């Protein structure tokens, strides 16, 4: 019996393992290393209505146990998703769940892209990205302001005919407040955390290393922050959580589930170890067997229930 | 593309901060082409990302894979301390590589500094069926030590050094212009410092010669998933890891 399967927003997932937006391209980049259908689902690279070239200059810098990035939502736009990317995923036999990450500079743009996504039947769910730290207009500005976060969620929820996950930024004073507001405004689930705003300086040049000065920090360095935030939010909302931030092993995934996450998402960890999703899956299954769990979800939130 | 633990056979200092790493490989060497690269994993877990290292040479018969690398930061500092007998995990081969499918042509290959790395495999791939002129540029005599590891039979090799301690004093464009005067050159292949490639691309354009350049960029994933290494080209955004690292110079914005 499958101990990892999970019902998430009314859809049956084979396992709770997703790959995070921006770390798994458009689903096929890692197919030489493992079959993407082994995943519970794939969250595609962040999309906008129109194509975007992203930020210029250096986009990536390593830090201890983490990386900073300022890609800035480079993407081919929703037309290419609909006409090329999704048909190609299907042609390549991808039948795992597909979650599309949507972005905009105005509430109207978020609504417009949500309407477009409605028409693509192969997309199972939507992740509303109100937390990208690397774009000047939109992005994190939406997720850091409770009122705007609520409004964006509400307006998208009104038009969207698929389950809606709202991705939260950790760059706020009170994450619980934002989580409650997006719940009140119709979010079906929350994914957290997006990257932490950071920077590095080139000490030889005396200038910021990243082309966009600041970037989003991801990787194991942010994991304790992410676990803490999931733990706080899980106790204060009634909608499920996709936990992510520096998952590098099955043990890390267990931490997120014990903190209250229903699903877990692997991002940066796949870069050094392309086989990480499979290792996490196997490790979680073995963990269930060893601890006589009928299903992994039996340990969800036990860190605050005990 | 493969993931493979490879045993280190040799890891020797060639000059300054330049090292030559030889590994025993199996599946990851079978399809490799000149100009491709591998992502080498660091053992220190706080050094998160793999390091993209250009393929120096592959000996398919002996199943030996060679990397000529420069010790620059944390990751490559770790690589230099790896001892024979130890393992290192490779991911690759990755990227496009040079187009070597040409015959009976006059070719110029130019490597500058660390850009000499892909040229051993490339010169050997092109020289049997073409007339190859190989121009090597470096800071000084020591920077040419790597040439001892090349097989340069039937290849006209010209050396330039900044300090004149070996070969022509000056940069690679001096012998390049000289060669263009004397021969009808079909194509230039190059890898090296940005400024050097910029001049070479200009010369190629002026003389209406095909040119392939190998670029370098900070990379996250190496497979086109993270878009951390994208550059703006005349044909839009291109990923250095997947669409490159070798590009036709025609699409490179070079002003």
Sign of the four-CA dihedral B93, B95, B101, B102:
negative
Taking only the tens place, the pLDDT of each residue in A74-127 is 999 999 999 999 999 999 999 999 999 999 999 999 999 999 999 999 999 999
Which pLDDT belongs to residue B220?
Answer: 96
Lowest mean pLDDT among A137-151, A152-166, A199-213: A137-151
**What integer best gives the mean pLDDT of chain A?**
95
Question: Mean pLDDT across the stretch B44-69?
Answer: 95
| pLDDT bucket at A136, cuts 50 / 70 / 90 | low
Backbone angles phi, psi at A136, to 5 degrees: -75, -45
Residue of B nearest to A218 (CA): B48
Find chain A residues with C-beta within 8 A of B229's C-beta. 59-60
Which segments of chain B are extended strands (E)?
Answer: 2-15, 18-24, 37-40, 51-54, 57-59, 64-70, 87-94, 106-112, 131-138, 156-161, 168-169, 187-191, 210-214, 230-233, 236-239, 246-248
Residue of A nearest to B46 (CA): A65
Tokens representing residue B120 in the block: 């051993």
Does A24 touch chain B if contact means CB atoms closer than 8 Å? yes
Sign of the four-CA dihedral A284, A272, B93, B4:
negative
Q: Which H or E element spans position B250?
A: none
Does B193 touch chain A if contact means CB atoms closer than 8 Å? no
Which pLDDT belongs to residue A133?
Answer: 72
Tokens representing residue B151 in the block: 């097989």
- Integer angstrom CA distances of residue B220 from A44, A210, A270, A284: 17, 14, 10, 27
Q: Residue B144 forms beta bridges with which residues?
A: none
Does B195 touch chain A if contact means CB atoms closer than 8 Å? no
Give CA–CA dist A243/B156, Å, rounded.
Answer: 59
Backbone angles phi, psi at A220, to 5 degrees: -50, -25
A and B: number of Cβ contacts within 8 A: 90
Contact at CB, A59 and B2, closer than 8 angstroms: no
Find chain B residues with C-beta within 8 A of A45's C-beta. 227
Find chain B residues with C-beta within 8 A of A66's C-beta. 48
Q: What is the ipTM of this complex?
A: 0.92
Which pLDDT belongs to residue A138?
Answer: 64
Give CA–CA dist B227/B79, Å, rounded.
Answer: 25
Place of tokens 């733990």: A231
Taking only the tens place, the pLDDT of each residue in B67-108 is 999 999 999 999 999 999 999 999 999 999 999 999 999 999
Give CA–CA dist A154/A151, Å, rounded.
Answer: 5
Of A54, A61, A270, the CB nearest to B227: A54
Question: Mean pLDDT across the stretch B218-229?
Answer: 96
Q: Which H or E element spans position A250?
A: helix A250-258
Does B2 touch chain A if contact means CB atoms closer than 8 Å? yes
Gap from B133 CA to chain A (nearest CA, Å): 34
User: If we measure between CA atoms, which residue out of B136, B63, B106 comes closest to residue B209?
Assistant: B106
Question: Mean pLDDT across the stretch A183-195?
Answer: 98
Report yes or no: A214 and A197 within 8 Å, Cβ to Cβ. yes
Give CA–CA dist B43/A160, Å, rounded.
Answer: 46
Report yes or no: A228 and A255 within 8 Å, Cβ to Cβ. no
Find chain B residues with C-beta within 8 A of A132's C-beta. none
User: If we measure between CA atoms, which residue out of A90, A160, A158 comes closest to residue A119?
Assistant: A160
Q: B30 or B138: whose pLDDT is higher?
A: B138
Gap from B246 CA to chain A (nearest CA, Å): 19
């Amino acid at each position: 019996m499958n101990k990892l399967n999970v019902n998430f927003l009314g859809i049956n997932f084979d396992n709770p393992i997703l790959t995070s937006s921006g770390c798994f391209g458009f689903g096929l980049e890692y197919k030489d290393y493992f079959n993407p259908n082994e995943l519970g689902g794939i969250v595609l690279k962040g999309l906008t209505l129109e194509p975007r070239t992203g930020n210029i200059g250096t986009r990536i810098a390593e830090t201890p146990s983490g990386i900073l990035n300022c890609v800035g939502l480079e993407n081919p736009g929703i037309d290419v998703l609909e006409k090329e990317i999704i048909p190609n995923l299907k042609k390549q036999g991808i039948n795992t769940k597909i979650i599309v990450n949507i972005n905009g500079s105005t509430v109207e743009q978020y609504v417009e892209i949500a309407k477009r996504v409605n028409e693509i039947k192969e997309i199972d769910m939507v992740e509303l990205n109100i937390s990208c730290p690397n774009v000047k207009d939109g992005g994190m500005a939406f997720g850091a302001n409770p009122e705007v976060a609520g409004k964006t969620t509400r307006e998208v929820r009104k038009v969207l005919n698929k389950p809606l996950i709202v991705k939260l930024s950790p760059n706020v004073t009170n994450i619980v407040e934002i989580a409650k507001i997006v719940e009140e405004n119709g979010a079906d689930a929350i994914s957290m955390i997006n990257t932490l705003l950071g920077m590095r300086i080139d000490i030889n040049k005396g200038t910021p290393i990243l082309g966009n000065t600041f970037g989003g920090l991801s990787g194991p360095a942010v994991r304790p922050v992410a676990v803490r935030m999931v733990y706080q939010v899980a106790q204060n909302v009634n909608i499920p959580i996709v936990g992510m931030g520096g998952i590098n092993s099955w043990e890390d995934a267990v931490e997120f589930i014990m903190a209250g996450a229903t699903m877990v998402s692997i991002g940066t960890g796949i870069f050094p170890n392309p086989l990480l999703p499979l290792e996490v899956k196997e490790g979680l299954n073995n963990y269930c067997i060893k601890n006589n769990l009928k299903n992994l979800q039996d340990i969800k939130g036990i860190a605050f229930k005990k | 593309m493969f993931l493979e633990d490879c045993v280190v056979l040799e890891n020797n200092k060639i000059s300054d901060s330049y090292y030559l790493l030889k590994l025993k490989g199996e599946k990851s060497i079978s399809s490799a082409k000149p100009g491709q690269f591998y992502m080498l994993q660091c053992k220190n877990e706080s050094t998160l990302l793999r390091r993209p290292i250009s393929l120096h040479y592959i000996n398919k018969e002996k199943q030996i894979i060679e990397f000529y690398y420069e010790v620059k930061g944390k990751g490559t500092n770790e690589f230099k301390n790896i001892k024979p007998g130890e393992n290192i995990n490779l991911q690759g081969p990755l990227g496009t590589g040079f187009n070597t499918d040409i015959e009976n042509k006059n070719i110029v290959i130019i490597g500058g500094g660390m850009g000499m790395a892909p040229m051993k495999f490339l010169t050997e791939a092109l020289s049997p069926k073409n007339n190859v002129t190989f121009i090597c540029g470096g800071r000084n005599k020591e920077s040419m030590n790597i040439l001892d590891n090349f097989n340069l039979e039937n290849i006209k090799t010209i050396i330039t050094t900044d300090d004149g301690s070996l070969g022509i004093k000056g940069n690679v464009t001096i012998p390049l212009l000289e060669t263009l005067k004397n021969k009808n050159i079909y194509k230039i292949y190059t890898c090296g410092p940005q400024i050097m490639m910029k001049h070479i691309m200009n010369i190629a354009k002026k003389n209406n010669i095909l040119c392939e350049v190998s670029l370098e960029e900070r990379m996250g994933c190496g497979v086109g998933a993270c878009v951390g290494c994208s550059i703006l080209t005349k044909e839009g955004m291109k990923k250095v890891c997947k669409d490159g690292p070798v590009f036709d110079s025609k699409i490179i914005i070079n002003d």
